[in-house]
Structure 1
Amino acid sequence: MTMMERIAHTPMPAARPRLRSNDGVDRLTRVLTAHAARAGCAVSIDIRSTEPWASATFTGTVATLALTFTPSPAVTRWLADLPEADLPIGRDLVADIAVVPAPGDCCLSVLICNDAANGCA
């Protein structure tokens, strides 16, 4: 059997579904840190958890982000304005962002829709 015959008879491995990493969440943490800096706030953001999410038309991620900062009027304003902020993260879309007070710190609950710019799930 020639090499070409062997290649032709070798079964192709089944295609695996493309898994999304936390790239969108990582990009969001960088965007949020820069957004806070432009508002005069120094914040540190840690990814606390991520969970897959899906609707009838989109797939995405729900992320919980822990914020560390020194309290100030600028941070208070930034957190109050954050749910209405435009936070571009490439092809993905921040569909919802909520500030969640937690004992001893502050968290963000964020819904990111994957590939929302292309209108595909």
Structure 2
Amino acid sequence: MAATPLNPVDLYDVRSLLTEEEQAVQDTVARFTDERVIPIIGDCFDKGVFPRELIPEMAELGLLGSSLPTEYGCAGLNGVSYGLICQELERGDSGIRSFASVQSSLCMYPIYAYGTEEQRR
């Protein structure tokens, strides 16, 4: 029996433990990171600017508040998907990942957890 070759970026084969939805989330954010973040982030760094033009795309993909319920316009994803979103964004740039996690966890989640129904909507 031939040994299965190791995947150098997933030595423990974690991906095989993910649901189809989680794999789709990871693939979508990986594609966004490869196509939209990585090509511009070096120039943004050199200029000392945040790529604000990516924010609407991140929102459209459901990356902001991704674990909050769909009834409030969010993606309603599970915690694993949120972690995969952060992992893939971090692969491109820690500032982009920080933006998404701060928006989701420090801004949107407190409104969901402690706000009125009117504020949530």
TM-score normalized by the length of structure 1: 0.28
Which is greater in Rg? 1
Richer in strand (by share): 1
Structure 2 length as normaliser, TM-score?
0.28
Higher helix share: 2
